[in-house]
């Protein structure tokens, strides 16, 4: 198959950043995606409805003409988020979820949750109102090996949380292990998971074998190939509880190419094309549309997009870098070929 027509996809996990970074990040996503769940880990974090609505306006200001893109906003769960703010968020048509970062887990997570018991009343209110919790599922204990942090989180935090509040709607974000695939598959339909293009296409050898490649460093970190395989099988399975979320997370080049580099892979410049490449490699192009364009909307209780995207198997070369405010950002596949192109977005 060399041409593919699918319902326009959505990105259910995206970092757009703020300020003049938006001039780059927003058009890259808005070109192809109808909507995106926008992460709130700014400095300071998007911790209440008012901040989320202001941030939404800043995003909308740079959406290019003719690209009807809708940012779906989220709030950052801090120890201080109140039950009344949850009710306010639920009522607001532009706010779709609350993001849980364990304190210290990743970029700008220092305001995250220090103790899950402290936020239990907020989580119970979310369950009551049907507002989804988006989870960065890694423990942060210094003595837990970085490759084991997702599995440990599932065992010690997530599983007890589901026992305690089984009605809570959860997206386990950017899963990276066979344990996460298995766990989500075995739960009730209140829990789903997003999968990134980089965790489908790469494993820890790409990060570490033959030299350290800082542009492959992200969190949760790339795992070994057996986990990559499990994620791939989940993505092409047609199981509606696994769907697209890029976790595209740009950092300026100099903050990654340094002795303590930031975590994050910038995939937005070629995201749907890279996912298509993966599904093509697996001979599973017929499963792409569900994963990219149907299952996420269904889980969030939103209508599917009506626009369509046409993809062709026609290679193009990803630029080495893009402007990123005063700096540059290095995209996933920089300077290399991407096998599929988007040739048309029909209204
Ligand atoms: O690699 C990552 N980058 N993982 C995250 O969880 C956060 C993200 C970021 O914001 O840079
Ligand atoms: Zn993320």
pLDDT in tens, 2-42: 999 999 999 999 999 999 999 999 999 999 999 999 999 99
The stretch 297-309 carries a mean pLDDT of: 98
Question: Helix/strand/coil (H, E, C) string of the chain?
Answer: CCEEEEECCCEEEECCCCHHHHHHHHHHHHCCCCEEEECCCCCCCCCCHHHHHHHHHHHHCCCCCCCCCEEEEEEECCCCCCHHHHHHHHHCCCEEEEEECECCCCCCCCCCECCHHHHHHHHHHHHHHCCCEEECCCCCCCCCCHHHHHHHHHHHHHHHHHHHCCCCCEEECCCCCHHHHHHHHHCCCCEEEEECHHHHHCCHHHHHCCCCCHHHCCCCCCCCHHHHHHHHHHHCCCCCCEEECCCECCCCHHHHCCCCCCCCEECHHHHHHHHHHHHHHCCCHHHHHHHHHHHHHHHHCCCCCCCEEEEECCCEECCCCEEECCEEECECCCCCEECCEEEEEEC
Please identify, by atom number, the ligand 1 atom nearest to the C-alpha of residue 173: 6
Given 20, 145, 225, 247, the catalytic residue: 247
For ligand 1, mutation pick of 215, 245, 247 (most atoms within 8 Å of CB): 247
The stretch 96-103 carries a mean pLDDT of: 95
Q: What is the pLDDT of residue 302?
A: 98
- pLDDT tier at 222, thresholds 50, 70, 90: very high
Of the ligands numbered here, which is closest to the C-alpha atom of 173?
2
The stretch 202-220 carries a mean pLDDT of: 98
Domain boundaries, the chain: 11-303
* pLDDT at position 226 over 80: yes
Of the ligands numbered here, which is closest to the C-alpha atom of 102?
1
Q: What is the pLDDT of residue 277?
A: 98
pLDDT in tens, 193-207: 999 999 999 999 999
For ligand 1, mutation pick of 102, 105, 219 (most atoms within 8 Å of CB): 219
Decide if 247 is catalytic.
yes
pLDDT in tens, 131-182: 999 999 999 999 999 999 999 999 999 999 999 999 999 999 999 999 999 9
Distance from the alpha carbon of residue 21 to the mean position of ligand 2, in angstroms: 16
The stretch 204-220 carries a mean pLDDT of: 98
**Ion ligand 2 neighbours, Cβ < 5 Å:** 247
pLDDT in tens, 249-289: 999 999 999 999 999 999 999 999 999 999 999 999 999 99
Of the ligands numbered here, which is closest to the C-alpha atom of 266?
1
The stretch 96-120 carries a mean pLDDT of: 89
- pLDDT tier at 56, thresholds 50, 70, 90: very high
pLDDT in tens, 328-341: 999 999 999 999 99
- pLDDT tier at 104, thresholds 50, 70, 90: confident
* pLDDT at position 1 over 80: no
CATH class for domain 11-303?
alpha beta
Distance from the alpha carbon of residue 221 to the mean position of ligand 1, in angstroms: 10
Q: What is the pLDDT of residue 106?
A: 79
Q: What is the pLDDT of residue 111?
A: 86
Give the whole-number percent of the chain exceeding pLDDT 90.
Answer: 94
Which is higher by pLDDT, 157 or 114?
Answer: 157
- pLDDT tier at 323, thresholds 50, 70, 90: very high
Q: What is the pLDDT of residue 107?
A: 78
* pLDDT at position 109 over 90: no
Residue nearest to atom 3 of ligand 1 (CA): 264
Distance from the alpha carbon of residue 1 to the mean position of ligand 2, in angstroms: 32
Distance from the alpha carbon of residue 218 to the mean position of ligand 2, in angstroms: 9
Distance from the alpha carbon of residue 333 to the mean position of ligand 2, in angstroms: 19
* pLDDT at position 62 over 90: yes
């Amino acid at each position: 198959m060399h041409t593919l027509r699918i319902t326009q996809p959505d990105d259910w996990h995206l970092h757009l950043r703020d300020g003049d970074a938006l001039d780059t990040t927003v058009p890259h996503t808005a070109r192809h995606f109808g909507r995106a769940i926008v992460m709130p880990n700014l400095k300071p974090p998007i911790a209440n409805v008012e901040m989320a609505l202001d941030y939404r306006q800043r995003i909308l200001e740079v959406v290019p003409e003719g690209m009807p893109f809708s940012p779906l906003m989220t709030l950052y769960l801090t120890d201080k988020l109140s039950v009344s703010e949850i009710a306010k968020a639920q009522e607001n048509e532009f706010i779709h979820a609350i993001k849980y970062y364990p304190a210290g887990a990743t970029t700008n997570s220092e305001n995250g949750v220090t103790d899950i018991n402290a936020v239990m009343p907020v989580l119970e209110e979310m369950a009551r109102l049907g507002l989804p919790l988006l989870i960065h599922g890694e423990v942060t204990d210094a003595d837990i090996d970085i490759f084991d942090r997702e599995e440990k989180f599932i065992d010690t935090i997530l599983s007890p949380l589901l026992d305690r509040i089984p009605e809570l709607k959860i997206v386990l974000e950017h899963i990276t292990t066979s344990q996460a695939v298995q766990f989500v598959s075995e739960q009730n339909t209140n829990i789903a998971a997003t999968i990134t293009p980089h965790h489908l296409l790469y494993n820890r050898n790409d990060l570490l074998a033959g030299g350290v490649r800082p542009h492959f460093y992200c969190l949760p970190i790339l795992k070994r190939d057996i986990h990559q395989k499990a994620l791939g099988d989940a993505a092409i399975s047609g199981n509606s509880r696994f769907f697209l979320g890029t976790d595209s997370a740009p950092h300026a080049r100099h903050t990654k190419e340094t002795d303590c580099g930031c975590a994050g892979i910038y995939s937005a410049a070629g995201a749907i094309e890279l996912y298509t490449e993966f599904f093509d490699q697996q001979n599973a192009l017929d499963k792409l549309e569900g994963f990219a364009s149907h299952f996420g909307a269904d889980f969030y209780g939103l209508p599917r997009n009506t626009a369509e995207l046409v993809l062709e198997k026609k290679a193009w070369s990803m630029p080495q870098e893009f402007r990123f405010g005063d700096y540059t950002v290095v995209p996933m596949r920089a300077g290399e070929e991407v096998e599929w192109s988007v040739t048309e977005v029909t209204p």
